[in-house]
Amino acid sequence: MLLVGAGHAHLVALRQWTRRGWQPPAGSALINPDDHAWYSGMMPGLLAGRFSREECAIPLEPLCEAAGLELILNRVDALDTEDRSLQLWQSTRNYELLSVNTGSTPASPTESDGSIPLVPAKPFRGFISAWEQWQQARSTPHLAILGGGPAAFELALSLQQSLPRLRMTLVSDRPLLAGHPKKLASKARRFLHRKDITVIENHHIDRIADGRLYAKEDFVLKTDALILATGATAQSWYREAALEHDPSGFIRVDSTLQASGRADIFAAGDCISLPGIQRSGVYSVRQGSTLARNIPAALKGKALRKYQPQAQSLALLATADGGALMSYRGRTAQGRLCGLWKDWLDRRFMRRHRLR
């Protein structure tokens, strides 16, 4: 059995298997490029100076050891479903049962002359290195964030907190926090305004030239670097493998979380396409419990459980000052209590998965 990616769902599955004493087949492994899993929920708090690096990353070796898996530090670049093999950097691995939980990457503007560094919010290790360079910069950088969802909002506030001389602009191709209650977006705009963060909404940046951002032919902004906190894109190897995928390249799965038409491949988290899901850690964590049941059942030839996406999910958006904005079932709130609630949930997740 090979697990690819230490995403939220696989972390939950490993923890549940260890708790239940289930032993994976001999030779099973987790493949991940980093020996730590960075927890996105706490990443803005790290940038805002509220958490240390150690508090935000889960060491994978102890988790794998406890679950009876080898940890392979590598990344998957191709999948051959006929041969049941994975192409890694400088090696290949065969599987009998595969599970994919490799997340997503933010989208970039379609045309760029390379005049502005593009800094994707993920992977986090790379993003943190860029942040450290901005901290050391002598002159005041002007940073722009592309994206208008919760991650872009949280990153804007936390960067402003840790880089006070910074000039920051958030550019979104739709209204801020579209899909959330309008009241939440209004609260978010007020927060950004108070911190002198400029917000440009309904501008789709599709071209970068001479250090400037353009929406079609219109000049929008001049910036020193562009942080990508845009919607999720799929990795190219999903599309290149003989797997069913949606038009954006995400792996289509059935309600058992098996790749459509494949009994030997599971997938979960941001990399999947399934009606009713959202691409967020909250959904991936829930899918982890289904994987934890279904993978052992599939290996024993037993009936599989169906995953039902939650109809509503709680959104808690950190405001970099220990507080948070909250929305649930159309209701919104803000303040220190919401922040304490978010911290409690995040720290609980970390406590459960940090074995050393």
Ligand X SMILES: Cc1cc2nc3c(=O)[nH]c(=O)nc-3n(C[C@H](O)[C@H](O)[C@H](O)COP(=O)(O)OP(=O)(O)OC[C@H]3O[C@@H](n4cnc5c(N)ncnc54)[C@H](O)[C@@H]3O)c2cc1C
Residues that bind ligand X (CB under 6 A): 4-9, 31-34, 37, 40-41, 43-44, 75-76, 101-103, 121-123, 151, 154-155, 229, 235, 269-271, 279-282, 284
Provide, rounded to whole angstroms, the least separation between the CB of residue 76 and ligand X. 4
CB closer to ligand X out of 93 and 203:
93
- How far is it, in rounded angstroms, from Cα 168 to Cα 240? 38
Judge contact between 99 and 265, C-beta under 8 A.
yes
Provide, rounded to whole angstroms, the least separation between the CB of residue 233 and ligand X. 12
CB closer to ligand X out of 285 and 299:
285
Which residues have a Cβ under 8 Å from the Cβ of 269 and sit 6 or more positions away?
Answer: 5, 7, 8, 9, 101, 102, 103, 279, 283, 284, 287
Provide, rounded to whole angstroms, the least separation between the CB of residue 285 and ligand X. 8
Provide, rounded to whole angstroms, the least separation between the CB of residue 5 and ligand X. 3
CB closer to ligand X out of 101 and 256:
101
CB closer to ligand X out of 27 and 126:
126
Return the sign of the alpha-carbon dihedral for residues 348, 350, 354, 356: negative
- How far is it, in rounded angstroms, from Cα 292 to Cα 307? 12
Provide, rounded to whole angstroms, the least separation between the CB of residue 89 and ligand X. 9
Provide, rounded to whole angstroms, the least separation between the CB of residue 282 and ligand X. 4
Q: How many helices (H) and strands (E) does the chain have?
A: 10, 26
- Residue located via tokens 């079609």: 216
CB closer to ligand X out of 24 and 150:
150
List, as own/partner pairs, every contact residues 185-190 make where C-beta atoms lie below 8 angstroms and the sequence separation is at least 24, other chains included: 187/325, 187/332, 187/334, 188/153, 188/317, 188/325
CB closer to ligand X out of 173 and 270:
270
Q: Quick one: which of 224, 45, 248, 44 has its CA closest to 152?
A: 44
